[in-house]
Amino acid sequence: MGQYADYIKNHPNKDGYFGKHGGAFLPPELETAFKDITEAYARIRSSHDYISELRRIRKYYQGRPTPVSHAAHLSELIGTGCQIYLKREDLNHTGAHKLNHCMAEALLAKYMGKKTLIAETGAGQHGVALATAAAYFGLKCEIHMGEVDIAKEAPNVTRMKLLGCKVVPVTHGLKTLKEAVDSAFEAYLKDPVNTIYCIGSVVGPHPFPLMVRDFQYIVGAEAREQILEMTGNLPDTVIACVGGGSNAIGMFAPFIDDPVELIGVEPGGRSGKLGEHAATMTYGSGGIIHGFKCYLLQDDKGEPGPVHSIASGLDYPGIGPEHCHLKDEERVRYDVAMDDECLEAFYLLCRTEGIIPALESSHAVAAAIREAKQRNSGAILVNLSGRGDKDLDYVTENFGFGDEYLKDWDL
């Protein structure tokens, strides 16, 4: 066993810290509620009933295991001999990895006797996944969403409503994600006994970064076994995109003690100027956001800074505390992919593999292409976190069908 053999067991520590990141900075009214969640989770984390129920749901409802696909045509086109493999979370029910933690959070809520799931959503992806889980378990669901996002993301609002979820429009401030988080927290504060706040990534106060990592661990665990079976070897490199960091941590965690390079890809956006990217690891510094410590994009006043990414699921000014620790430890390398590289990867995967990826996932594909160009053999495993159906209108209306982006490729 290597240096990281007991890593998962020892991280976070009992106070929810990964090195100097994480913790729980809560208003006093929520301390009891979070203590209850922590205790309940510690109890059921190893309970036979919970684990076997979750296994059953993953297999017979979500459609797990999702496959690993060899991107043979893409690899051939790159032409260096390096092979790219894709973990197909786009084939998970609802089209992304998010359902992995939403189903597990809802099951926990049910065990705890909660009646209502509360959350915020930006582009609507977390809202749809949580509304799906609520419908499955017969729980109520209340999703807070900025009015600006409601207008922009009509199909996801329709989905949530069809799934029986109450969508609460947030009308103050910039009417986007940050205000939606505040509004959802207020609603939770009113009744923390009957409701539970379901965080949508490996962020927020302890124990959420721990729980969501546990719930996403299945992605890397399956992929590790599948690629060993397919190729006889571990991959040289594993790559995932990082917004809050849930799909990446789920993919990385089972490889942490292996001699495998891990790369997290953040949105480089249009440029390195504050407000034109969401590359927390590259440009951020230590701070506190939404109840936990992490690297953070901040303005002159130390407030969370404005962010941009072509992929709305990646534009968060903070990042999961465990990723910050893995950066400090130099166990994971964090890199960026720019909007343009992401679009090129998006179009290329459509044409070479018949897979339309989410713009978030396209960041990871872009980094894989860049790496593969520089190698002459070996294998790169990419977490394809979701499918791109939600992005079709935006991409084609603004950037067309890809000819411009693919002109340097011999297709």
Exposed, middle or buried by CB within 10 Å (0-12, 13-18, 19+), for 216? buried
| Sole binder of ligand PLP in the list 124, 244, 317, 321 (CB under 6 A) | 244
Between residues 65 and 192, which has the closer beta carbon with respect to ligand PLP? Answer: 65
The answer to the question of residue 245 lying near ligand PLP (CB under 6 A) is yes
DSSP SS3 for 168: strand
> Which x/- pattern, by CB under 6 A, does the window 23-62 give for ligand PLP?
----------------------------------------
φ, ψ at 18 (rounded to 5°): -110, 100
Q: How many residues bind ligand PLP (CB under 6 A)?
A: 19
Q: At closest approach, how far in Å is the CB of 99 from ligand PLP?
A: 10
Q: At closest approach, how far in Å is the CB of 384 from ligand PLP?
A: 8
* Residue 114 annotated in active site: no
Candidates 10-18, 35-43, 170-178, 355-363; binding stretch for ligand PLP (CB under 6 A): 355-363
Task: In whole angstroms, give the CA distance from residue 328 to residue 17.
Answer: 13
CA neighbor of 319 nearest in space, from 261, 257, 277:
277
Q: At closest approach, how far in Å is the CB of 90 from ligand PLP?
A: 8
Task: In whole angstroms, give the CA distance from residue 41 to residue 116.
Answer: 18
Please check whether residue 382 is in contact with residue 363, taking contact to mean a CB–CB distance below 8 angstroms. Answer: no
* Residue 120 annotated in active site: yes
> Among 75, 87, 89, 98, which one carries the catalytic annotation?
98
**Ranges within 303-332 binding ligand PLP (CB under 6 A):** 313-314
Between residues 66 and 361, which has the closer beta carbon with respect to ligand PLP? Answer: 361
The answer to the question of residue 242 lying near ligand PLP (CB under 6 A) is yes
Q: At closest approach, how far in Å is the CB of 115 from ligand PLP?
A: 26
Candidates 5-13, 28-36, 328-336, 354-362; binding stretch for ligand PLP (CB under 6 A): 354-362
* Residue 98 annotated in active site: yes
> Among 246, 361, 385, 390, which one carries the catalytic annotation?
385
The answer to the question of residue 198 lying near ligand PLP (CB under 6 A) is no
Q: Which residues of 314-328 are buried (b: 16+ CB within 10 A; e: fewer)?
A: bbbbbbbbbbbbbbe
Q: Which two tokens stand for residue 387?
A: 């499918």
The answer to the question of residue 124 lying near ligand PLP (CB under 6 A) is no
Q: Which two tokens stand for residue 21?
A: 């990141």
φ, ψ at 282 (rounded to 5°): -80, -40
H-run or E-run covering 169: strand 166-170
Candidates 46-54, 332-340, 353-361, 396-404; binding stretch for ligand PLP (CB under 6 A): 353-361
Please check whether residue 243 is in contact with residue 201, taking contact to mean a CB–CB distance below 8 angstroms. Answer: yes
Our CA dihedral for 239, 243, 247, 252, rounded to 10 degrees, sits at 50
Q: At closest approach, how far in Å is the CB of 75 from ligand PLP?
A: 22
* DSSP codes of every residue in 2-26: -TTTTHHHHSS-TTSEETTEE----
CA neighbor of 96 nearest in space, from 143, 147, 62:
62
| Sole binder of ligand PLP in the list 82, 96, 349, 366 (CB under 6 A) | 96
The answer to the question of residue 386 lying near ligand PLP (CB under 6 A) is yes
| Sole binder of ligand PLP in the list 246, 280, 298, 362 (CB under 6 A) | 246
Task: In whole angstroms, give the CA distance from residue 277 to residue 271.
Answer: 6
CA neighbor of 338 nearest in space, from 377, 370, 297:
370
Between residues 220 and 244, which has the closer beta carbon with respect to ligand PLP? Answer: 244
CA distances from 345 to 121, 248, 309, 369 (A): 26, 18, 15, 8
> Which x/- pattern, by CB under 6 A, does the window 156-195 give for ligand PLP?
----------------------------------------
Q: At closest approach, how far in Å is the CB of 60 from ligand PLP?
A: 23
The answer to the question of residue 336 lying near ligand PLP (CB under 6 A) is no
| Sole binder of ligand PLP in the list 214, 315, 322, 360 (CB under 6 A) | 360
The answer to the question of residue 92 lying near ligand PLP (CB under 6 A) is no
Task: In whole angstroms, give the CA distance from residue 148 to residue 234.
Answer: 45
Which residues bind to ligand PLP, rule: CB under 6 A?
96, 98, 125, 201, 241-248, 313-314, 358, 360-361, 385-386
Positions marked catalytic: 98, 120, 385
